[in-house]
Chain A
Amino acid sequence: MSIIRARGLTKRFGDLVAVAGIDFDIQEGECFGFLGPNGAGKTSTIRMIYGASPVTAGEVWVNGKDVRRCPREIKAAVGVVPQENNLDPDLSVIQNLLVYARYFSIPGAIARDRAREVLELLQLWDRRDSHTESLSSGMKRRLVIARGLINQPKVLILDEPTTGLDPQARHMVWQKLRQLKAQGVTLILTTHYMEEASHLCDRLAILDKGSVLVTGTPSEVISQYVGEEVLELAPRPEGREAIVSWLEQHGLETELVEDMIYVFGRDSSGLPQPPGVFDKVVRRRATLEDVFLRLTGRALRE
């Protein structure tokens, strides 16, 4: 049974359509990712799931409950890690958790036990009495994740959980998220790091301009939209035209980007390398990044 179900989910801000009537189903216990460039509508979508933002049209159910009818119940069952670290700067690390637990009406003694548990999980117990302002950005992010776990949610919603973190901190967060998933927590995350998505997500949806372009497992999506193999060619300018027509004659799928030529191979039989002189030739497996760039284009969004 799907734990989250959306049909025709729409969000408008005045004339701007942020989410244009999308459908999705998220299964219990899976990690589902929303991918998309900035402004694609990822944040708007997940804010509607946990009732922070009113649904303009369409419907979304969490645990079989309509978000519009039962916002309190749904918010009580869901953990949220928002895009911005909105920690309470007036309170210490542990007070942030205890005060937050109180919003869920979790009794004090239980809240203290849980606060210790989640701080230990995210390796922040030693910093429990620090001011939140004195934490590094990685620690702040971990504290926000710890806060999102204080109500022992069945569903944890994370909006760009690792944006702005260094690789060490990012890998630590990934490891904790995998641990939570192993414990049966359903994870919903947004990201624009393709590596993060392929690392964590069982299934994903690529969003652009408020619409879902594709849904599936990372490997399904990659083989459907790019194939198996990518050849990255950086030809010398004088030989470029000959190479392009050679690729065309051989019926290969190509994308020309500035000085680069990308060749996509549908199967693992091995792409032929065109004759000519190159500054650089890279042969590699297709990734989600290839899918993402092919579907959403290479133009800058901001």
Chain B
Amino acid sequence: MTSQSLLSLSAWRVWQRNWDVFMRLWRVELWPGFLEPVIILLAMGFGLGAFVQPISGQSYLQFIAPGLVASSAMFSASFECTYGSYIRMSFQKTYDAILATPVMVEDVVTGEVLWGATRALFSGGVVLVVITAFGLVQSPAALLVLALLFLQGLAFSSLSLFFTGLAPSIYTFNYYFTLFITPLFFFSGIFFPLEQLPAVFQTISWFTPLTHAVNLYRALVLGQVFWDLAWDLAWLLMFTGIFVVLCQVVMRRRLIV
């Protein structure tokens, strides 16, 4: 076996460990991901939406639905690769145990990122099912959202694990969520078109990953696909590529002493 195939196999072992744990707990863990989008849809879509004019011809409910797929995936991958990974690394010493086996540190990091992306796929997929049930999916092109959810999951998992590699304590993640993840939730075009914002904020928003996921999902859910979406896709790919490498660097520095 080449070292390359060994590497991918070992990363898969780490993924499988998380999968086994998830299978023990999924009955508990899956419900928040299912209920939260329903609550947001009811509160924002029906409640607030009653006072909002149609946006680009869409009801408010229809407007926010695709973005909730993206935000659910973002939260899921981010929680998994901050709190989840940090607990495995620092409290449970799971990584230390794994590193005494033929699995190497790069496999652990890759396995964690792949697992975070899988969680994002599940959570986003659940929301996609929910909004389909609400009759808010207009095109079979929405199936492509599933593939993109995995990519978006990789983006947020690798970014989160990069942060985890630097975090001095688990409390640091409160800052990550309050100052970074939550603002993305509100300022990435889920609840209102970004054109509402001053130009400078529009520009900032364009440099953050959630905006591009929201653009892509909205287009696919509505079946209105244009070539400029290629920019969103390219942006996400590049962002992911950068942080997949960076999280390897900081985690290696942290774990190998």
A and B together in one complex: yes
Asked if B94 and A86 sit within 8 Å, CB to CB, the answer is: yes
Inter-chain contacts of B103 with A (CB < 8 A): 103
Instruction: Select which of B3, B13, B25, B92 is within 8 A of A86 by beta carbon.
Output: B92
When A54-B256, A102-B13, A103-B10 are in contact, do A86 and B101 touch as well, CB less than 8 Å?
A: no
Instruction: Select which of A13, A71, A103 is within 8 A of B98 by beta carbon.
Output: A103
Interface residues as binary, B13-57 with A (CB distance below 8 Å gives 1, 0 otherwise): 100110011001100000000000000000000000000000000
A39 proximal to B (CB < 8 A): no
Inter-chain contacts of A71 with B (CB < 8 A): 104
A89 proximal to B (CB < 8 A): yes
A285 proximal to B (CB < 8 A): no
A125 proximal to B (CB < 8 A): no
When A54-B256, A95-B20 are in contact, do A82 and B96 touch as well, CB less than 8 Å?
A: yes
Inter-chain contacts of A100 with B (CB < 8 A): 97, 101
State A76–B104 Cα separation when bound (angstroms).
11
| Chain A residue at minimum C-beta to C-beta distance from B101 | A103
Inter-chain contacts of A76 with B (CB < 8 A): 101-102
State A100–B102 Cα separation when bound (angstroms).
10
State A71–B25 Cα separation when bound (angstroms).
34
Interface residues as binary, B85-123 with A (CB distance below 8 Å gives 1, 0 otherwise): 000000011101111111110000000000000000000
B179 proximal to A (CB < 8 A): no
Interface size class, chain B: 20 to 34
DSSP majority for the B interface? helix
Interface residues as binary, B166-204 with A (CB distance below 8 Å gives 1, 0 otherwise): 000000000000000000000000000000000000000
Instruction: Select which of B13, B92, B101, B256 is within 8 A of A75 by beta carbon.
Output: B101
Interface residues as binary, A31-48 with B (CB distance below 8 Å gives 1, 0 otherwise): 000000000000000000
Asked if A99 and B102 sit within 8 Å, CB to CB, the answer is: no
| Chain B residue at minimum C-beta to C-beta distance from A100 | B101
Asked if A72 and B104 sit within 8 Å, CB to CB, the answer is: yes
Instruction: Select which of A75, A87, A90 is within 8 A of B100 by beta carbon.
Output: A75
State A260–B124 Cα separation when bound (angstroms).
73
CB distance from B9 to the nearest CB of A (A): 7
When A86-B92, A103-B13, A103-B102 are in contact, do A91 and B20 touch as well, CB less than 8 Å?
A: yes
A278 proximal to B (CB < 8 A): no
State A139–B15 Cα separation when bound (angstroms).
28
A245 proximal to B (CB < 8 A): no
A221 proximal to B (CB < 8 A): no
| Chain B residue at minimum C-beta to C-beta distance from A89 | B92
When A71-B104, A86-B93, A103-B10 are in contact, do A91 and B99 touch as well, CB less than 8 Å?
A: no
B257 proximal to A (CB < 8 A): yes
Asked if B96 and A104 sit within 8 Å, CB to CB, the answer is: no
State A135–B99 Cα separation when bound (angstroms).
24
CB distance from A58 to the nearest CB of B (A): 17
State A104–B16 Cα separation when bound (angstroms).
13
Asked if A72 and B100 sit within 8 Å, CB to CB, the answer is: no
State A99–B257 Cα separation when bound (angstroms).
25
| Chain B residue at minimum C-beta to C-beta distance from A105 | B9
Asked if A99 and B100 sit within 8 Å, CB to CB, the answer is: no
| Chain A residue at minimum C-beta to C-beta distance from B94 | A88
Query: Could you tell me which residues of chain A, from 39 to 81, have a CB within 8 Å of some CB in chain B?
Result: 50, 52-54, 71-73, 75-76, 80
Asked if B24 and A90 sit within 8 Å, CB to CB, the answer is: yes
Inter-chain contacts of B6 with A (CB < 8 A): 72
| Chain B residue at minimum C-beta to C-beta distance from A90 | B21
Inter-chain contacts of B24 with A (CB < 8 A): 90-91
Asked if A53 and B13 sit within 8 Å, CB to CB, the answer is: no
State A186–B257 Cα separation when bound (angstroms).
26
CB distance from B32 to the nearest CB of A (A): 18
Inter-chain contacts of B257 with A (CB < 8 A): 13, 53
State A84–B92 Cα separation when bound (angstroms).
10
When A52-B99, A88-B94, A89-B92 are in contact, do A102 and B16 touch as well, CB less than 8 Å?
A: yes
State A91–B257 Cα separation when bound (angstroms).
27
Residue among B3, B9, B257 with the most chain A CB within 10 A?
A: B257
Instruction: Select which of B9, B25, B100 is within 8 A of A52 by beta carbon.
Output: B100
CB distance from B167 to the nearest CB of A (A): 20
State A75–B13 Cα separation when bound (angstroms).
15
Asked if A86 and B102 sit within 8 Å, CB to CB, the answer is: no
| Chain A residue at minimum C-beta to C-beta distance from B3 | A72
Inter-chain contacts of B3 with A (CB < 8 A): 72
Asked if B102 and A104 sit within 8 Å, CB to CB, the answer is: yes
Inter-chain contacts of A90 with B (CB < 8 A): 21, 24-25, 92
Inter-chain contacts of B256 with A (CB < 8 A): 53-54
Between A and B, 13 residue pairs with Cβ closer than 8 Å are A50-B100, A72-B102, A72-B104, A73-B102, A75-B102, A76-B101, A84-B93, A87-B97, A88-B94, A91-B20, A102-B16, A103-B98, A105-B13
Closest 9 CB pairs of A and B: A86-B93, A103-B101, A80-B100, A90-B21, A86-B97, A76-B102, A72-B102, A75-B102, A103-B103
Q: A76-B101, A82-B100, A102-B13 are in contact. List 10 more A-B contacts (CB 8 A).
A: A13-B257, A50-B100, A72-B6, A72-B104, A75-B100, A88-B17, A88-B92, A89-B92, A91-B24, A103-B103
